[in-house]
Structure 1
């Protein structure tokens, strides 16, 4: 699932991607779009070039009017590569964004995409050969420009719990990043808690939010508006 807002038509949309896996065949991928203004789903449409998404339950990133997922696709030489799939909610169309070279052969559920101001960030959490958890974070400084991918930071360990994997959820306006505990050898309950990391001081703050398996974050503007009324007045 993905959720986004079309500022031109003042319409909220949900995108549903379905992947049909069949034995000895490449998966078939389809998408449908729900429009709040129209109150209905579109007919399923094919995404033939998309072999799959790395983890459909990971949070998406809604940036510059588009919803972003990390997935992989088939190459003409028979191989496959990781890329970023972007859905423009205004035109109801998909486009591709190239990942950094370090990630193109890396199709992993520990690859994560998140919002970074008006652009996007890509991260990879992993264990080293000595089982030390690490987190690499890359940012696209200029949205849509492949050459602007820049490695922001490598964290080893990436969080306050030494033997745990974390994934970025969103970058705050202050420059801090909110991380989600996704895998822990310390806590058997795997509570998926949220922590905030100051990228300058490397200090962590526990946000006191845990117990949820899935998270989603988005920028917001303080207002009151009726979603089902196109003529509503915001306060």
Structure 2
């Protein structure tokens, strides 16, 4: 896994594509993206353009994608991954994460709400989601699988699964001087799970969450 990665989470579609091109040109090889960022088409175009002009080969790029909350029902996992692959026009992703351990109503709406504007949650068993990810790995659609925003109890649900084939290779979480995640880091280290930090310089509260 490459140590540092730019993420186009807050960029427009056009900015995302250009930023990824520049990142690759100056030496970045790990691109961290997600379906919910809404710019995988542009990110994929940028990656392919840098492959086409000889700057990199596909095997030089480490691409991380993520499974959003409305696609965590096991029957939707592979469909969601295949949608990302089609948008990226890649044959596989290097790492695919469960974006967050929150399950929304399955469907095409990434933020389903009721008549009062409240999110519609769904009681998806995260262990079944994980089994579906294992199947995607076996199918060659993804090289490694992991999670994001999980606490140690949520990780234990997966680690203690009967018949577990692949444990999470990483847990991507907010981590910085004001949220050092010391206990979670020790837990992950004890299970040979890499703790990946995002917002490492700090973050502001997201309105509505």
Q: Structure 2 length as normaliser, TM-score?
A: 0.32
Q: Which of 1 and 2 has higher RCO (CA within 8 Å, sep 6+)?
A: 2
Whose helix proportion is higher, 1 or 2?
2
Rg: which structure is higher? Answer: 1
Whose strand proportion is higher, 1 or 2?
1
